[in-house]
Amino acid sequence: MKWPLLLLLAVLPLQWFVVVRGIRLHLLALFVFLVFTLATHSSRAFQPVLRVAWAFVVANFALNVVWLGANGYHGLGLRPPVEQLVYLAVSVAVGAAVYRALRSGGAVAGLRWAALVASVSLVGALTVSMALNGVNAAAVFGQTIAAADPEILQKELYRAAFTGFGFEEDVVSGNLRHEVFGALLLAMTVSAACVGVRPFRSVVAHRLYLGSMVLATALILLSLSRSVMIAFAVWPLLALLRAVLAMRLTPRLVGGIAVGAVATAVLAFTGVLSVLWVRFTQDTSSYQARDGLYQLAFDNIRANAVMGGVDTVSASSHNFVLDSWLRAGVFGAVAAAVVLVLLVGLFVSLAIRLHREPVWVLPAAIMLVLPLVRLMTAGGGQVPPVSWVGLGVAAGLLAYRRALLDDDSARPDADVAQARRRYAASSSNAGLSTQVAGSTSGHSTSPRLASRSDADGSGSSSSSK
């Protein structure tokens, strides 16, 4: 499944291309991927993902069924809730494909290049779009830095580049970049997770991978998308939290801090840092507008609290729970709140136990951050397609983690105890050795998983299901 997944991740950022009858390229790719997965996988292939994500799937299904009923009752369009149900199916299909790739071993090696594939795809598409629309990227960047005005980049580069490929100039929005570069962040997390599962043995390949991650990071910073940059900033914070909880400062983390310091200095020297500072501290028009949207949403909720029926296309609060209340009434709001609580709860549970998990679980936590940010900021109050794919990838990774724990629990106790003793004797982390070699009951990290984690410079201990 590596080729379909890589192709999907390559197409996902290209969201300004409309191919036929108003259908955008990345949505067509999602539909084709869903059909292909359903045609090539048996029903049993989806069980591992549904086993770890059943509550989330049920809550989303209930939310969209309620929304579908409310729209039918009020005579509104049925397409939006149906689309969300299709995206839910796509998410489960992506999770099943990722799980299968991780279990097969060979496919995961190819998915290590997801960041490179997505970066090259995005840079190539932007280059062609800017050339056809006469956009001088260097001049626009120069004007943006000279004026320290992020709006110049949004209007003169992104909005101009996205025009003419199915979106007319009066319709296209520079805010489309939130999902474009969100897809790039998703590809980075896929690469990082797969490298954690199967580290590179070739120095050249590893350096090429690092180069692709640097390129993707630069693109995300230049996107000036606050939601994507916030989600990206959580990555090093979680890595630091993992080191603090493990009470272990690894060379990898020290190197990352040094690289971050150098990158900050480069951004300051080039003037990009001042643009980023303005973007977060002074470019607050959207924040101020959101206050008015919230007030309008509360007024509409008071008038339509039980049955909803408000069209959020023109009256969106940019808040997932409030918009669900507006559309589907109080029952929709309850279902949406359950979805949000499940995501927040999963993220917090992963964050506090990262030091006891393999290094590749950290990217799974990052995949939850972008949907959480977008649910509180995206217009329409719906889960965007990129977030659905990210949630599917996270579900696939967590299903794989659970399968490894189940593999250990299925082994005879004598074999488990012997494996623990071998791993404890070979581990260079004394604290980890004590934990693994201790109790002979419950789940532990398998020798296979331990070897993968050690090869990437991280030890992982057992965790209960």
CA dihedral 280, 286, 289, 293 (to 10 degrees): -110
Which of 207-216, 371-380, 456-465 has the weakest average pLDDT?
456-465
Q: Is the pLDDT of residue 171 over 80?
A: no
Q: Determine phi and psi for 24, rounding to 5 degrees.
A: -80, 155
Q: Which residue has the tokens 């939006």?
A: 80
Instruction: Give the CA angle between residues 443, 460, 351 to the nearest 5°.
Output: 95
User: pLDDT tens, 2-19?
Assistant: 899 999 999 999 999 998
Q: Look at residue 286 in the predicted model and tell me its pLDDT.
A: 66
Average pLDDT, the chain: 84
Query: What letter represents residue 336's amino acid?
Result: A
Beta bridge partners of 20: 23
pLDDT band at 422 (very low <50, low <70, confident <90, very high): very low
Q: What number of CA atoms fall less than 13 Å from residue 342's CA on the CB side?
A: 17
User: pLDDT tens, 232-257?
Assistant: 999 999 999 998 888 877 777 788 78
CB under 8 Å to 317, separation ≥6 — which residues?
290, 293, 294, 296, 297, 323, 326, 381
CB under 8 Å to 428, separation ≥6 — which residues?
none
CB under 8 Å to 156, separation ≥6 — which residues?
135, 140, 143
User: pLDDT tens, 349-403?
Assistant: 999 999 999 999 999 999 999 999 888 887 677 889 999 999 999 999 999 999 9
